[in-house]
Each structure stands twice: as C-alpha cells, then as structure tokens.
Structure 1
C-alpha cells in the first residue's frame, strides 16, 4: 500500500490550498472516563462541517487534471456529500448539478445552495434516494457530465484517506486505536488502506444501517431490506463494491453496531458537557467508547467525529430518544375506567419524582373504559419499578408501548 500512502499524501498537500487540517484535540472528559488518552479528530470543524469535501476535492482535482475540458459535475445526495460537492464546484470554477430528494429538509437545501452559490443548480427529484440517484445518473448520460459518487470511487477513497495523513502528522505517528464510523465505506476504506495493520481499527455502524456487517457475513455487498435513517450520514443500504474490497478482511468483532437511541445520549452529553455539536453519524465513534472496555485502557485512541451538520429542530427528538434509552421516559396505553374519581386514583400512583409528560384520550365513547395515551418522565429509571407495582395493585390495565416501533411512529 506504499503507493496509496504516497498518493494520499499528495492529495493532502493539495488540499492545503483550500482548507487547513482539521484539529486533533485531546478530550479530558472522555480520557478520564475511559482511562485512556482520547483524542477527537474534528471533521465536524471542516468548512462544510464534515469530511465529505475531501473526497469531492480529490475526485474533481483528478478529473480536471486528466480532462481539463470537463465543465459539469453531478451528484445525488441529501446531506454532507451534496455540501462538499457544492463547495468544491465553486472552488474549481465548474458547474455542479446536485440532485436531492423532494423530502430533503430546507435547512440542508439552503446550506448546499450557500456553499455552491452561482456554481450549483439544485434539482429536487423523487421522494426516495434511489429515485434521486436514478435521475442524476440519467442526467449524466444525457448531458455527458461527470458523476461524483459519495463513496464508491477510488479517488474519493484516496481523498478520505487524507484524514489519516493529518492524524499521523499531528501525532507524529500512528495512534494505538482508531475508531471511526462507516456508512458506504469511503472513509473507512481510505483510512484503513493508509494505516494498514499498524493501528487497532474499530468500525462503527448505526444498528439500523449495518451494511458492512451484512457484507462481511455474506462475503459480498448485500442490500439491507430496510434502513433506519436517523443517523443519515451513515445509514446506507449497501456498502460500496470498491470500499468493501478494501474492508472485506476486517474481523467481524472489530465492527460494532450502535443503538440509535443510545447514540442520542452521547449527542446530548457532547453538547451539554463539551459544547460540541455532532450529527448522529458524527457521534458514532464517541459512543462506541462505552463498549471498548479494557481494550483501550492506557492507550492513545483517536475517534473521528465525522460530521456536525445537525439541525437543532431535531433536538427534541434527540432528547426524547435519549430519555427512553436511559429508562427515564415511558409511554403507556392505559385503560381508564369512565367513572368519577378514576383520574384521581391514577394520579395517586405517581411518585414524588414522576411527572406526566403527555396525557391524551385516544377515543371517547359510552363504554365503561376509555383508552388513554400517557407519557411519564422520572429522574431515576428505578422509579418505574415502584410506579408499575402501584399501578398493578390498583387494577388499572395498561400496555407499555415505549419500544413498540409501529405504535410509537403513529402515536408518540
């Protein structure tokens, strides 16, 4: 891989004409907690708040060097890749056409437009990404434009490897352990190819998008039947063919899946304690520290915080999911007797640290019982044991729907 290391270093040097290296910062809070030297590679502090502009820069740089008459680049993305491509289109003075799903939040559309300015045209096409991708590729065929893959491209992989080049320079060598997120695999493939076997590597996926683990189990990339898009920066249905070729011999034990609700607790912790804003995918590497145990004690560990494009309108959802994971909030469907004093009887069940966060009749009728959606918050998870014991003694019938994804989607 020496040739790859050399070309990655050339790419990193070329990037310095566009942006400075992202910081590598020791985090005292995490270091103390885990008994290791924890450093954060702050890709969330790049000009577009993610590492994606690296791959876009390198791929466009190489295309323009080989074919200087290339005037138009195309991508399909609803997030960080779109912003990276837009930024680089303006830098190189070329036209960019960025296809985004119609359902893309306005905040992401606005940021892409801001980074690209007059150099970029945004086309909203399709309700789902697969439709958007098909439209982008059809446009490339028709117009003869160059399609920029978000990850499954050798020049993109090489561009993402510049993260490793910077880490090596900033540390004066390789770290003991390196933890990074994996979605389509561009970042993971690039960094692993650069460091080879000199670093203990842990790759982290969202549980609802564990496409690398599925590929390792099958021996080839496979498409997941469904993907949880909460950690949208890493929620990919199928890992890339080229990226998997560089990752296929990773030990399954070195690939970890993170519960999306638990991920929310890490996002809130980093925001409230450290003042660091991370998007869900950007927090994956930090969250994985909790599972590393003695494997990182006394070692120098680098976590790549891959992105900070977080829409604060999602903060209530993040808090909600974090509370549910921590056992501090639960939802119930309660059968409430329709008689005088029934509500008073229920309120007597609540403990001094319990609070009603939601109370909603789902239907009203002349029957003897009515159904109520009720949300309870408390300060300590063990309080729910006492609450449910009292509820059972009163004879109230109830169903805990906190982890019922179908009902929660419609009711909560």
Structure 2
C-alpha cells in the first residue's frame, strides 16, 4: 500500500476470508436519524462484530498474512487496553497461536476480563505501567528481546487493508444504484479512515468523505494543518477508543489529500449526548468512539444533510455501564438541561427559603453543598439545578439578578468543575 492506494483485490480477498469468523455487519437505514435530518441515514454497524468493534478486521488480516508467511510457530504481541486487544485475542484463539497483551495497570477489570474471555488459553495478559505509553514501551522491549511479532493497532499496511473491508461491504449492501453523498468516518490512529477512503477513492470524490475526531484529541486535524504528522502535547482520554496523540505515518500518507476542514471535531460532551439519546431512543449501545460519526451528523446539521444519502460508520459498542452516570451528567450539561452555580447567600434566617422561591416549576435541585460555613455575614453554596427546557435557565438567571443574588455559573469552567463537582 502506498499513500492513499489500497489494493482492491487484496481487500476483496480479506473480505472473503473474514467470513471464516463472522458474517458481514449490517448496514441499516435508521428511521429516527433519517427523519431528524430529512435524509437517508445509513449506519454501518461495526458494533455488531464478535468483539463489538471493527478492530477484529485488521487483526485478522494481519494474522492471516503472518500465517501464510510461516508465522505459526511465533508469539504475537500487542499493546492495548481496548478494542484492539479484544480483536487481537479473538484472532489468536481462532488461529490457535500464543499472544501476549500488554495493558496498563490502570485498565478497568471489565476490559481485562473481556480480553481474556475472547483469547482463552491462547492469551497472556501483562499489566505494566500506569499509562499507555509505558505499556507500549514495555511491549516493544519484549518484542525486541524475544523476536516476537508486534501487531500494531493502525499503522501497518495489513491492518489498513483489513479495515478497508468495511468499505467493500458498504457498497455491496447499499440498494442497487445508490451511492452515498457523504460517508462519515471516525478517526483515532487513522487505520479505518485510511482503508475506507483508499478503497473508495475511485467511487467517491474527496469531498464526499467526512472525518471526525474527538475535540480533545485532534491528531489528524493538527497534522493536516501542519502538513506532517504531529504529536499532541495533551490528549483528553474520555473517548478512549479514538484518543490518539499521533496519527500513524502510513495513515497520514493515506489521508493527507484531505483538507483540515474535512475533519470535524466533536466535543466530548456532545458525544455523551449522542450516547444517551441513541440508548434511550434506539436501544443502541455505543462507546464514545462509536458515537463519533453520529455526533458528526449533528455538527453538519439538516441544511447540509437534507435530501442526501449518508453512511455513518458506527465503529464500536464496548461501553462500560459504570460510566453511564458521568455520560448522563455531561450530556445534560451540553444540552443546557443542567447547570452548576456557586451562590453567595446571606447568613440570616429565611435566606435559603427566599432562594428556593426563585426556582421555577420545572427546576429541580440535584446538588446542594455548603462550601464555606465560617463566614459571619455570607456563605458560599454549590448548587446543581436540572430543568426540562434550557430556556428555563434564562428566566432563572433573570430572577437571580432581579433579587440581587450573588452567583457564578461554573457549568463550563472545567478547572472549577473538576475540583468541586
């Protein structure tokens, strides 16, 4: 593979070989999203693969080619705390070859257990380092010391080729004669986007592709702006399946033909809103990275989507439900249904009752905490308020000001919010 070029014959071979382990993931017309944006919105459901993500495709293709090259007697290694580890483990068991998965010590037990379940007796899990970079360094050191085979998550031609099978399936599953006006792809390290755009570069013009990254991990967007791969100094790990500090070298070569403006940046709290809405309305369980392409629909808006045929790749559904309270909280804040204030109330009888009388019929207190009790005349209170309509907060703040109530809205102040909420 060179740059944006993907060998279609090799991809079609990989697609046929994949049927050894799972059928094609469905391409589904989503009625809810289609009505919402007055378009035909199709979802490519990679969350319905055996490991609930597309990562199994690249891992299988890598192993398949390694087996053909005489690699059956070797040990395979990967470093991952997420979907790559699970795809790797599944394929190790399929080919009955030993694999070692390096994970950070901080990896949630649920992910460790799932990886062990997929790999069974063929997998050894080593917990090393507090962060991924330490874990990855340990995995590379082990490979150099033992001559094992490293299976990278995205920056390898065989991985990209395997992920490109998503594109081959999409075009065979669309109604006859239908061609997408827009194809939306989530981006982390760039393996999926490289494979899909490379496979379809003759069928679709460059402007038909929409790429989307988390706002807190815009590695591709910044690299395209710089004209070369750059490493982000800081990454927000909330969208853990796509929070990559540096896009892969091969992946950048494949994607450098796109403009930075074609890479949308999805706010993490907007992704939370997508997760909550799709779970409540559609019963669809999405991990944060799996919600990226649907969040992109909201960013694009009806004006750009109206009347179009749109395909959005849902990349994964490995959601840890222990995160659900945090997702709900962030979704409500993003949608304007929840706010946090620091209030300055007089230390006198009746002051609290006077404040409560300012609340509207649809306003509900979800958090109440004294921050300072020692002041003689005034006290500071942290209060969280939920409501049913964002417009209610405009009226509430108007009443705050009319009552000459000292307040500070800290909902979007990340430093304060992280310290005291």
Please report the TM-score for the alignment, with normalisation by the length of structure 1: 0.97
Cα shift at 1:195 = 0.1
Match among 228, 235, 246 for residue 243 of structure 2: 235
Alignment of 1:353-392 (within 5 A): 353-392=362-401
Q: How far 1:175 sits from its partner (Å)?
A: 2.6
Partner of 2:356: 347
Residue of structure 1 equivalent to 2:54: 51
Residue 358 of structure 1 deviates from its aligned partner by: 0.1
Q: Does residue 20 of the first structure (1) align with residue 28 of the second (2)?
A: no
| 2:196 equivalent to 1:191 | yes
Q: Deviations over 1:284-333 (max 9, x none)?
A: 11111123344333222111000000011111111111110111100011
Q: How far off its partner does 1:410 sit? A: 1.8
* Local SS of the residue matching 2:333: helix
Paired position in structure 2 for 1:38: 41
Say what the alpha-carbon RMSD is for the aligned residues: 1.4
Q: Aligned equivalents of 2:394 and 2:310: distance in 1?
A: 38
1:100 and 1:124 in contact (8 A); partners too: yes
Task: Note if 1:411 corresponds to 2:420.
Answer: yes
Q: Any gaps of 5 or more consecutive residues in structure 1?
A: none
Please state if 1:283 is matched with 2:291.
Answer: yes
- Give me the whole-angstrom Cα distance separating, in 2, the residues matched to 1:398 and 1:175: 50
Deviation per residue, 1:159-201 (Å, 9 max, x gap):
0001011112112564332111001000000001100152211
In structure 2, C-alpha distance between the alignment counterparts of 1:92 and 1:69, rounded to whole Å: 8
**Does the CA-based 8 Å contact 1:37-1:299 persist in structure 2?**
yes
For the pair 1:176 / 2:181, whether they are aligned, the reply is yes
Match of 1:25, SS state, is strand
Q: Deviations over 1:263-283 (max 9, x none)?
A: 111111111111111111111
The number of equivalent residue pairs is: 412
When normalised by structure 2's length, the TM-score is: 0.95
Inter-partner Cα distance in structure 2 for 1:398 and 1:33: 37
Residue 71 of structure 1, CA deviation: 2.3
Give me the whole-angstrom Cα distance separating, in 1, the residues matched to 2:72 and 2:110: 33
Q: CA deviation at 1:2?
A: 7.7
Output the CA distance in 2 between the equivalents of 1:315 and 1:2: 40
* Matched ranges for 1:94-133 at <5 A: 94-133=97-136
Bigger shift: 289-298 or 146-155? 289-298
C-alpha distance in structure 1 between counterparts of 2:134 and 2:334, whole Å: 34
Q: Which residue of 2 aligns with 1:336?
A: 345
Match of 2:328 among 319, 327, 331: 319
CA distance in structure 2 between the aligned counterparts of 1:142 and 1:268, rounded to whole angstroms: 46
In 1, Cα distance between equivalents of 2:162 and 2:364 = 51
For 1:75-224, what aligned pairs fall within 5 Å after superposition? 75-171=78-174, 172=176, 174-199=179-204, 200-224=208-232
SS of 2:7's partner is: helix
Question: Do the aligned residues in 2 keep the contact of 1:63 with 1:70 (CA within 8 Å)?
Answer: no
Q: Structure 1 residue 224: deviation in Å?
A: 1.0
- Whether the 8 Å contact between 2:72 and 2:97 is mirrored in structure 1 is no
Question: Structure 2: which 5+ residue stretches go unaligned?
Answer: none
1:337 to partner: Cα distance = 1.8
| Residues 84-120 of structure 1: per-residue CA shift (max 9 Å, x gap) | 0011111110111111111111111111111111111
Which residue does 1:252 correspond to in 2?
260
Distance in structure 2 (CA, Å) of the matches to 1:77 and 1:110: 14
Say whether residues 1:269 and 2:277 are aligned partners. Answer: yes
Change (3 A) 1:3 1:245: closer
Between the aligned partners of 1:103 and 1:68, the Cα distance in structure 2 is 32
1:66 shift after superposition: 1.0
Cα offset, 1:389, TM superposition: 1.5
Question: Match of 2:307?
Answer: 298
Distance 2:45 2:26 in 1: 6
Partners of 2:271 and 2:197 in 1: CA distance = 24
